Each structure stands twice: as structure tokens, then as C-alpha cells.
């Protein structure tokens, strides 16, 4: 299946925080990610029945409800063993003898949540029964397709297990009933199929999954529609599973509202730190001078991958054009690009086809900076009042503790005001930002 982007996206930044932006960001993450995100934090588990033993599995074979053809699919995907969150979530979701255990699970993007419930769904369906047994809802058409692709890959040796997409545009002939065992869709279409068109009979669904809950509640109507599906359509005793990459209070309230008597699994995001980062600033007089400082930097960085942050989209395109004119290969991310275009630029960058990526803050949130050796703040991050935006600074250049490699950050300073901001950032993190003279530049790589 192919995915389509939203061509109506406005100026980069305007749509920040909106549901569409969150859904696109989540999709972008998946399009560019190739592997599991590791975490060294401990999984927190809160069991509803504290007297029952706490199971965790270190291998997929240990799962008691197993189908050899399913394991074959899992191994063919390159999964050798369960991820951190899967170690605890899988035995809970697939308890044997089967007992519907509800679950609220939270862990950062890329830690294996979707793979976990896909395995549970495929493990639980009975291929001989030709009716819907598992239902999964996601915020958008594209995100539903992503989940479906995982199911198709993982379940490719599970003969007779079928999947249907309950998404806009996919029609079922009136009067007939969905026979596929697994349904993946968006809340609106799922509700429509069940309650209005009556082509989907939810009465025998034994597993209900709500994925991307944080995105779900940010989208108008999805929250209520999800609650309606859960409370009006699903049978009593149906297992309910809830997944989110973040846990703000609003997600929490939604979770407690929709999941009765839940177990909790939580894996905290690894904190970003500046510990492994050497930070510098370069004094410049104007944006042209900043540009030549950047070109000098570029000249002495042959192996490094660099990301350059600008405050506005206009500045980013000016800079990218100027650098291209100088003969440098640069990629640029900007707000009017579709998700696929953005994913393609990031992909080329990750493959090393372009060593430099020029971007604004909003457009670059899907990028995994662990790969990046040098971050240049062409413009320093400031909040609406013009003060240092420390969180953004940390997010741009910080690495997560144990897995983070050594990195460099260079800040280009063009006024007393931006020098003040450097001082504020230094004070906030209690880390020195050293002045870098252009003569020293040759040594930068030696510092690594």
C-alpha cells in the first residue's frame, strides 16, 4: 500500500502541535527508522493483581501461546529477542490459559510497541473462525497502513489469517459481513462499519488495541469516537490494550477512561544530556559572515554529518541556496514539503549522500541526531520573548546517555543579543561554551 501526504500543510511552525502535525511526525518517524530504539532505563510494571507472578520473557520461544509459523515470521523480520517493553508486555497480553488482561503501555517511539501487539493479535486469532477477532484503531489512514504492514510481514507464514483495513475509501459490499480475523482502521470508519453500515460485527472481538493514543486525542473527534467504540460496540470481557509514546495528563485521563481495570507498563524515555557534547561559539558580524564561517567549517569536516538549524524557513532556504552555489551538497527540509519528500531528504542524508542538512526546528523533529557529529546553530533557539530556549537547545544537540556518541555543537553569534543567549544557555546547563577561532578550525576533528 502507498501512503499519501497532506498537501495542505502551511508554513512550517504554524501547524505545530496540531493533530495532523503529530500524526505526520509519527509517520515520518516510521518511514525513516530502520531499527529498534534502545533504552537503558528499567521498565516499570504495575500489575492489577499484585499476587499474580510477574512474568517476563527473554526470548520469543518462552511465550506460552505460540505458533511456529508466527515465530518464523518474527525471526525473518530480524527480531532476535524481545525488546525491553516486549519482555513484559508480551506475556501479559498473551497470558495462558487465556485471561483478558487489560494494558496501558507507554514507551517512547521506536521501542517496539506496535510490533508487540501485532504479535499478540496474530498469536491469539483462530484462523479457522471466519469472523473479526482483533480490532486495532489508529489515528490516520497512513498510520493504520503502517500497522497493517507489520501484521502482514509478521504473519506471512500464518496461512488463513486475513486482515482488512477499515479506512476511508475502502468499501464493503452492503449486506455482506467482514470475515477477516483482524481489522485495522481509523475510529470513524470502524464506527461507521459497525454501527451504521453493519458490515462489521464487533460482538466476537476478543482483543481491542488503541495505538498512537497521544496522537489520537489530539485529533478532533477521534477521542469521542474511540470511547464510543469501546463502550457501545465491544463485548464485555474483550481484552483492551492501549499504547502511547508520551504520557501527558490528557493521555493518562483518556487511558483510564477507556481501559477498565488496567495493568500498566511504562518505560521512561532516556534523558538527553550535554555530557558528551563539546560546545563552541564563533563570533560573526552578520548573516553573510555566519555563512562564510559555516563554509569554513564545512571545509574542514570531511567525515562528519552536520545538521544546521535556522530560525525561519526563509533563512533555511537562503542558506541552502547559498551553500549550493558554493558547490556544497546540502539537503534542505522545509515546511511545505510532504511527509514523503521530507522522509526522502532525511533518508539521503542518513545514507551520506548529503553530508549537510539545513532545517528549521519544526521540520526536523523526526531526525535521530545520534548519527549527527556536528550540530550548527545558525540561529540560536529563542522563545517568543527572545530569551534562550533551553529545551530546544538540548533537544537539538543533546544525546541520550548510554548510547550517545561524542558530538560537537557550534553556535554562530552575530550580535550582543545572541551573545547574551549563549551566556543564558551556559548558565542554565552549567556547561561552558568555548569560543572558537576560525584558525582553530583545522583541529576540530582532531578533538574527536
Ligand X SMILES: Nc1ncnc2c1ncn2[C@@H]1O[C@H](COP(=O)(O)OP(=O)(O)OP(=O)(O)O)[C@@H](O)[C@H]1O
Q: Which residues bind Mg ion (CB under 5 A)?
A: 113-114
**211: its cell numbers:** 495505538
Q: How far is the CB of 50 from Mg ion (least distance, A)?
A: 29
Q: How far is the CB of 211 from Mg ion (least distance, A)?
A: 6
What distance in Å separates the CA atoms of residue 308 and residue 379, rounded to the nearest whole number?
A: 9
β-strands 374-377, 399-400 pairing? unpaired
| Helix, strand, coil content of the chain in percent (nearest 5) | 40, 15, 45
Choose which of 109, 189, 239, 306 interacts with ligand X (CB under 6 A).
109
Residue 25 contacts ligand X per CB under 6 A: no
**Residue 360 partner contact from Mg ion, ligand X, none using kind-dependent CB cut-offs of 5 to 8 Å:** none
Using the rule CB under 6 A, give the single segment among 3-11, 12-20, 30-38, 191-199 that binds ligand X. Answer: 30-38
What distance in Å separates the CA atoms of residue 378 and residue 309, rounded to the nearest whole number?
A: 6
Q: How far is the CB of 143 from Mg ion (least distance, A)?
A: 8
Residue 36 contacts ligand X per CB under 6 A: yes
Residue 419 contacts ligand X per CB under 6 A: no
Residue 140 contacts ligand X per CB under 6 A: no
Residue 35 contacts ligand X per CB under 6 A: yes
Closest CA to 157 of 77, 83, 92: 77
CB–CB of 223/255 below 8 Å? no
Q: How far is the CB of 322 from ligand X (least distance, A)?
A: 35
Choose which of 245, 356, 413, 444 interacts with ligand X (CB under 6 A).
245
Using the rule CB under 6 A, give the single segment among 33-41, 263-271, 272-280, 369-377 that binds ligand X. Answer: 33-41
Using the rule CB under 6 A, give the single segment among 113-121, 172-180, 264-272, 314-322 that binds ligand X. Answer: 113-121
Give, for 124, the enclosing helix (H) or strand (E).
helix 113-124
Using CB atoms within 10 A of its CB, is residue 263 exposed (0-12), middle (13-18) or buried (19+)? buried
Using the rule CB under 6 A, give the single segment among 32-40, 224-232, 324-332, 347-355 that binds ligand X. Answer: 32-40
Residue 263 contacts ligand X per CB under 6 A: no
| Strands lying side by side in the sheet with 239-244 | 43-46, 262-267, 102-107, 239-244, 207-210, 134-137, 182-185, 163-166
Closest CA to 409 of 292, 289, 273, 311: 273
Nearer to ligand X, 243 or 309 (CB): 243
**290: its cell numbers:** 555566519
Strand partners, 374: 306, 408
Residue 206 contacts ligand X per CB under 6 A: no
Residue 110 contacts ligand X per CB under 6 A: yes
Q: By CB under 6 A, how many residues form the interface with ligand X?
A: 19
β-strands 239-244, 374-377 pairing? unpaired
Helix 390-397 to helix 416-429 angle (10° resolution) is 80
Residue count of the chain:
448
**Residue 82 partner contact from ligand X, Mg ion, none using kind-dependent CB cut-offs of 5 to 8 Å:** ligand X
Choose which of 19, 91, 112, 132 interacts with ligand X (CB under 6 A).
112
| Alpha carbon 206 to its chain's center | 28
Chain positions contacting ligand X, by CB under 6 A: 26, 29-30, 33, 35-36, 77, 79, 82-83, 86, 109-115, 245
Amino acid at each position: 500500500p502507498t501512503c499519501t501526504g497532506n498537501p495542505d500543510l502551511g508554513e512550517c511552525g504554524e501547524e505545530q502541535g496540531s493533530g495532523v502535525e503529530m500524526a505526520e511526525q509519527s509517520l515520518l518517524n516510521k518511514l525513516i527508522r530502520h531499527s529498534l530504539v534502545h533504552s537503558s532505563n528499567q521498565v516499570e510494571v504495575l500489575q492489577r493483581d499484585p499476587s499474580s507472578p510477574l512474568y517476563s520473557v527473554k526470548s520469543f520461544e518462552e511465550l506460552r501461546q505460540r505458533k511456529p509459523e508466527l515465530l518464523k515470521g518474527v525471526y525473518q523480520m530480524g527480531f532476535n529477542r524481545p525488546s525491553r517493553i516486549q519482555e513484559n508486555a508480551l506475556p501479559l497480553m498473551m497470558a495462558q490459559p487465556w485471561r483478558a488482561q487489560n494494558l496501558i503501555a507507554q514507551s517512547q517511539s521506536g521501542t517496539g510497541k506496535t510490533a508487540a501487539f501485532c504479535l499478540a493479535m496474530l498469536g491469539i486469532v483462530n484462523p479457522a473462525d471466519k469472523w473479526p477477532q482483533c480490532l486495532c484503531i489508529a489515528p490516520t489512514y497512513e498510520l493504520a497502513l503502517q500497522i497493517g504492514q507489520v501484521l502482514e510481514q509478521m504473519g506471512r507464514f500464518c496461512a488463513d489469517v486475513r486482515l482488512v483495513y477499515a479506512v476511508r475509501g475502502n468499501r464493503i459490499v452492503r449486506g455482506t459481513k467482514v470475515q477477516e480475523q483482524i481489522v485495522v482502521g481509523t475510529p470513524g470508519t470502524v464506527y461507521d462499519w459497525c454501527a451504521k453500515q453493519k458490515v462489521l460485527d464487533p460482538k466476537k472481538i476478543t482483543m481491542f488495541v488503541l495505538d498512537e493514543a497521544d496522537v489520537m486525542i489530539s485529533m478532533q473527534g477521534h477521542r469521542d469516537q474511540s470511547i464510543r467504540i469501546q463502550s457501545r460496540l465491544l463485548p464485555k470481557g474483550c481484552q483492551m490494550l492501549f499504547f502511547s509514546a508520551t504520557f501527558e495528563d490528557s493521555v493518562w485521563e483518556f487511558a483510564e477512561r477507556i481501559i477498565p481495570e488496567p495493568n500498566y507498563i511504562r518505560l521512561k524515555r532516556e534523558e538527553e544530556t550535554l555530557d558528551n557534547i563539546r560546545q563552541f561559539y564563533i563570533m560573526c558580524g552578520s548573516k553573510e559572515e555566519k555563512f562564510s564561517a559555516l563554509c569554513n567549517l564545512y571545509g574542514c569536516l570531511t567525515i562528519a554529518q552536520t545538521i544546521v538549524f535556522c530560525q525561519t524557513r526563509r533563512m533555511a532556504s537562503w542558506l541552502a541556496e547559498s551553500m549550493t552555489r558554493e558547490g556544497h551538497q546540502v539537503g534542505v527540509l522545509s515546511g511545505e514539503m510532504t511527509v514523503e519528500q521530507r522522509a526522502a531528504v532525511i533518508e539521503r542524508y542518513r545514507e551520506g549522500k548529503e553530508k549537510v542538512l539545513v532545517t528549521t526546528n519544526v521540520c526536523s523533529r523526526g531526525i535521530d541526531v545520534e548519527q549527527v557529529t556536528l550540530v550548527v546553530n545558525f540561529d540560536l533557539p529563542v522563545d517568543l520573548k527572545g530569551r534562550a530556549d533551553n529545551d530546544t537547545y538540548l533537544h537539538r544537540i543533546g544525546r541520550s546517555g548510554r548510547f550517545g556518541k561524542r558530538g560537537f555543537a557550534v553556535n554562530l553569534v552575530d550580535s550582543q543579543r545572541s551573545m547574551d543567549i549563549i551566556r543564558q544557555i551556559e548558565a542554565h546547563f552549567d556547561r561552558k561554551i568555548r569560543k572558537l577561532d576560525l584558525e582553530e578550525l583545522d583541529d576540530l576533528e582532531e578533538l574527536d
